[in-house]
Chains A and B, each alone.
Chain A
Amino acid sequence: GQNIDQPTEMTATEGAIVQINCTYQTSGFNGLFWYQQHAGEAPTFLSYNVLDGLEEKGRFSSFLSRSKGYSYLLLKELQMKDSASYLCAPMDSNYQLIWGAGTKLIIKP
Chain B
Amino acid sequence: GAVVSQHPSRVICKSGTSVKIECRSLDFQATTMFWYRQFPKKSLMLMATSNEGSKATYEQGVEKDKFLINHASLTLSTLTVTSAHPEDSSFYICSANPGQENSPLHFGNGTRLTVT
Q: Which residues of chain B are within 8 angstroms of A58 by Cβ–Cβ distance?
A: none
Is B107 close to A, CB under 8 A?
yes
B43 near A100 with CB under 8 A, answer yes
B104 near A33 with CB under 8 A, answer yes
Is A12 close to B, CB under 8 A?
no
CB-contact partner of B107 in A43, A95, A101, under 8 A: A43
Q: How many of chain B's residues touch chain A, expressed as a range?
A: 20 to 34
B107 near A30 with CB under 8 A, answer no
A30 near B43 with CB under 8 A, answer no
A14-35 Cβ-contact flags toward B at 8 Å (1 or 0): 0000000000000000110100
CA A40 – CA B93 in complex, angstroms?
11
Is A87 close to B, CB under 8 A?
yes
CA A95 – CA B42 in complex, angstroms?
22
Q: Which residues of chain B are within 8 angstroms of A95 by Cβ–Cβ distance?
A: 101-102
CA A50 – CA B45 in complex, angstroms?
23
Using a CB-CB cutoff of 8 Å, which residues 1-54 of chain B contact chain A? 6, 41-46
A96 near B46 with CB under 8 A, answer yes
5 sampled A-B residue pairs with Cβ under 8 A: A43-B44, A96-B46, A99-B46, A100-B43, A101-B41
- Which residues does A use to contact B, with CB under 8 Å? 4, 30-31, 33, 40-45, 48, 50, 87, 91, 95-97, 99-102
